[in-house]
């Protein structure tokens, strides 16, 4: 399975944008890039996913590099509730949809 590399931790100020990077240099052509986040003492929750084009939803934006070897999750205005561990995951190309989690990035949001 292709692996991802993320910084262990990042800090942000409340109401400022946050850019969470992810490197995936061995990504294959059919790998989707998924982002999940895990709030303290909760199960992970889906944030966003994409294949080649940039994606937006109500939670975040996903910017994918043209060569697809990296991507960036963008939170447009961080709130205290966004403090979580963010996981960048390359979805298994088989139809089983297995997710291989790395250690993720712990985001701290300061008031």
Closer Cβ to another protein, 13 or 57, answer by number: 57
List of residues 6+ apart from 57 with CB closer than 8 A: 48
CA distance 46 to 23: 19
Q: Which stretch binds another protein (CB under 8 A): 17-25, 34-42, 60-68, 75-83?
A: 34-42
Closer Cβ to another protein, 16 or 100, answer by number: 100
Site for another protein in 91-110 (CB under 8 A): 91, 95-104
Q: Residue numbers of the site for another protein (CB under 8 A)?
A: 32, 34, 36, 42-46, 49, 87, 91, 95-104
């Amino acid at each position: 399975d292709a692996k991802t590399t993320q910084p262990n931790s990042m800090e942000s100020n409340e109401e400022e944008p946050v850019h969470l990077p992810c490197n995936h240099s061995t990504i294959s052509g059919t790998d989707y890039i998924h982002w999940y986040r895990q709030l303290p003492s909760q199960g992970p929750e889906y944030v966003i996913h994409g294949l080649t084009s940039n994606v937006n939803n109500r939670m975040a934006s996903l910017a994918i590099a043209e060569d697809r070897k990296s991507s960036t999750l963008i939170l447009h205005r961080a709130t205290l509730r966004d403090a979580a561990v963010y996981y960048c995951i390359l979805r298994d190309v088989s139809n089983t949809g297995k997710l291989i989690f790395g250690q993720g990035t712990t985001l701290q949001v300061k008031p």
